Amino acid sequence: MIVKGKGQLTDIHNGVYMRIFFQKLFKLFYPPLPTCVACGATFTSLYPLAFCQGCLDRIPFITKPVCSRCDRPLRGGDRDPCRECQGETYYFEQAMAVAVYDGYMRELLHSAKYNFRPDLARGLGTILAVWAENETRLEEIDAVIPVPLHPEKLATRGYNQTELMAEPLAVALRRPLYTEVLQRVKPTVSQSKLSRREREENTRNAFAVVDCPAVAGKEVLLIDDIRTTGYTLSAAARALLVAGARRVKALTMAVGVTTEQWKG
Ligand SMILES: [Zn+2]
Ligand SMILES: [Zn+2]
């Protein structure tokens, strides 16, 4: 057995400290590449995005031409406004969306919502943030408000995925993010098995503004993860207008479209 003397131990300690010092110095000049929040791959990007190019390529982003009211893609002989918007009256002035609720975007949003992935929800917000750059329709926005969850649902899920998505967007827009101003006062049952009219009924009076001066006279941008019928956003917009907001616009990560609209 070799017993190391005190001097030898000091040499070993010095060696360890030097190695840690050089490792830190190296990281300072060559920081590790970010890893994709969805697939874990390391990547480089000119934008502050949380997704690698491979994942971005799988997202069904919306491309022009789109409906001027709801951003749904117009295909073939579709007229503007699209069929979904005709005959509907919403309390928001305009609804915008980044992607179609389909394929990989559907998987990501589902995971962000149900698989306890707050990191993925915030990561999706970086896509909203980059999308919002140079978006003229957002120039007049005074405040960003995510659609709130009912307190019971928030307690079960542990986080509001929409609030996390709105954070990087509010930073990019340099606008305040209000998370307490709008409250969901009525627990809404799951919308997926309801008819259109039942959905509208379900969301009516679901929201209330608890701080009217915060929104009075302002143009508000409402954020949600998914828009299907638009009734939830419309009910939230109505509550904001009643509280004195000047105008409400809506932006969602994804919008539901019929298969013929999207693939046709
Ligand atoms: Zn990826
Ligand atoms: Zn439309």
Measured from the alpha carbon of residue 50, the closest ligand is 1
E-state strands within the chain: 94-100, 143-146, 182-184, 207-209, 219-227, 247-255
Predicted local distance difference test score (pLDDT) of residue 3: 52
Q: Nearest bound ligand to CA 41?
A: 1
At 9, is the pLDDT very low, low, confident or very high (cuts 50, 70, 90)?
A: low
| pLDDT per position as a tens digit, 251-260 | 999 999 976 6
In sequence order, what are the beta bridge partners of 184? 207
* Paired tokens of 54: 């491979």
**74 CA to middle of ligand 2, Å?**
9
Residue 58, phi then psi, degrees to nearest 5: -90, -10
Spatial distance between the Cα atoms of 53 and 36, rounded to a whole number of angstroms: 9
What mean pLDDT is reported for the chain? Answer: 90
Distances, alpha carbon 109 to alpha carbons 51, 81, 118, 127, 181, in Å? 14, 27, 11, 13, 25
- Going by pLDDT thresholds of 50, 70 and 90, the confidence category of residue 263 is low
Whole-number Å distance, alpha carbon 41 to ligand 1 midpoint, is 6
CA-CA distance, 65 to 12, in Å (whole number)?
A: 67
Distance CA 177, CA 145 (A): 6
Q: What is the DSSP string of 150-193?
A: PHHHHHHHSS-HHHHHHHHHHHHHT--B-SSSEEE-SPPPPSTT
- List of residues 6+ apart from 223 with CB closer than 8 A: 128, 144, 145, 146, 147, 162, 165, 166, 169, 250, 251, 252
pLDDT tens per residue across span 187-223: 877 767 778 777 777 788 899 999 999 999 999 999 9
Q: For the chain, first and last CA: distance in Å?
A: 79
Domains annotated for the chain, with CATH where assigned, are 62-263 (3.40.50.2020)
CA angle 39, 102, 227 (to 5 degrees): 110
Nearest ligand to residue 55 Cα: 1
Q: How far is the CA of 97 from the centre of ligand 2 (A)?
A: 11
Q: What is the pLDDT of residues 132-144, one digit of tens each?
A: 998 999 999 999 9
Q: What is the pLDDT of residues 40-84, one digit of tens each?
A: 999 998 889 999 999 999 999 999 999 999 999 998 878 899 988
Nearest bound ligand to the CA of residue 52: 1
Question: What six digits make up the tokens of 127?
Answer: 């896509």
CB 118 within 8 A of CB 264: no
